[in-house]
Amino acid sequence: MEENGKNFLCSVIVPVYNEEESITPLTERLIKALVSVPHFHYEIIFALDPSTDRTEEIILSLRRSNPQIKLLSFSRRFGQPAATLAGLRFAKGDICVVIDADLQDPPEVIPQLIAKWQERGAEVVYAQRRTRQGETLIKRLIAYAGYWAINRIADVQIPRNTGDFRLMTRRVVKHLLSLKECHGFLRGLVALIGFKQDFVLYDRDVRLSGRGHYNRWTGSFLIGMNGIVGFSRFALTAISLLGFVTSGISFIITLVYFILRLLKVEIPWGNPTLVILITFLAGIQLLSMGILGAYLGRVYDEVRQRPMYIVESMYGFEGEDTDSRQ
């Protein structure tokens, strides 16, 4: 797009870990998609958690033939959210696009995201999945339940069937990076920031190769819990409500017991009932402690103010290949 004679820079951030078979086809498809958009320059920033395969070697090989390919390599594995935010911090683009490395999110959708931004003037354009190929039924059910729960109780509305694949303007990225939270739940943080947001529908592909790095059973569940704990106090309120309910049940049982004693009715309760009640109340207490622990754990993480990531080496930034520790 050209506005007042200006050419725009699009930064594509790719968090990556053990993706040696995907890097080359991903890069080829990214470049083809990006050069198809007129009046745009691009940079591709790979944010690499130290990998056990040839991922870093392949990225550096691609960089030798294309200086627009850049690499951030971390001192240890900090995880996808931290890698994504690191890539955004080093990006120079007028707009930034975040995309996974496994090619489940087609790079060919990026021109559609840019076109939507141009047409509607939205500060955020997220890619919303129309279909979810290659995902198990259990994972889909967990994802559905997670989005339903988050949007019912969270302080912000997170669009259903979306991931981190989205376009953000420089203004949104600036506000995003100003947040000091160390749990980088990107889709929740972007929703928290606000501004005008739009979407593009797309069909999610099957993973190109290898296996996903999230546990197929608990990955979506843990992401959902991160969203609930990070953007809602509902669980804390639910503990109080649960306490009132269980106290009420105990009071009713006591009242019934007292009335039956006055009427000299034989009470058909014995030790099994006592065991069930004790077990029930103990379970409620442990659940409540677990919820409190989740919130206190986040407070502890924030108070420590440890860095989300440490960059060991960086290639393509400030005109030179350098080592950086921060």
Percent of the chain predicted with pLDDT > 90: 14
| Between 269 and 61, the higher pLDDT residue | 61
Residue 163 φ/ψ, nearest 5 degrees: -120, -145
Closest CA to 162 of 139, 115, 129: 129
- Tell me the average pLDDT across 83-87: 88
The CATH classification of domain 9-232+308-323, taken from the options 3.40.50.150, 3.30.930.10, 3.90.550.10, 2.30.30.30: 3.90.550.10
pLDDT of residue 84: 87
Amino acid letter at 161? N
- Tell me the average pLDDT across 112-138: 78
Give tens-digit pLDDT for 18-48. Answer: 888 889 999 999 999 998 888 889 999 999 9
Cα 116 to Cα 120, 126, 201, 284: the distances in Å are 6, 10, 11, 49
Give tens-digit pLDDT for 130-185. Answer: 776 655 566 666 666 665 665 565 566 677 777 788 898 899 889 888 877 766 66
In angstroms, how far is the first alpha carbon of the chain from the final one?
35
pTM of the shown model:
0.67
pLDDT of residue 156: 64
Query: In the numeric block, which tokens belong to residue 52?
Result: 């056990």
Give tens-digit pLDDT for 198-252. Answer: 888 888 766 555 555 555 554 555 555 555 555 566 666 666 667 667 766 766 7
pLDDT of residue 298: 67
Residue 140 to residue 85: CA distance in whole angstroms? 26
Task: Provide the pLDDT confidence category of residue 324 given band limits of 50, 70 and 90.
Answer: very low
Give tens-digit pLDDT for 180-196. Answer: 776 666 777 777 777 88
pLDDT of residue 1: 43
SS3 of the chain: CEECCEEEEEEEEEEECCCHHHHHHHHHHHHHHHHCCCCEEEEEEEEECCCCCCHHHHHHHHHHHCCCEEEEEECCCCCHHHHHHHHHHHCCCCEEEECCCCCCCCHHHHHHHHHHHHHHCCCEEEEEEEEECCCCHHHHHHHHHHHHHHHHHCCCCCCCCEEEEEEEEHHHHHHHHHCCCCCCCHHHHHHHHCCCEEEEEEEECCCCCCCCCCCCCCHHHHHHHHHHHHHCCHHHHHHHHHHHHHHHHHHHHHHHHHHHHHCCCCCCCCHHHHHHHHHHHHHHHHHHHHHHHHHHHHHHHHHHCCCCCCEEEEEEECCEEEECCC
Give tens-digit pLDDT for 281-291. Answer: 776 776 777 67
pLDDT at 321 over 70: no
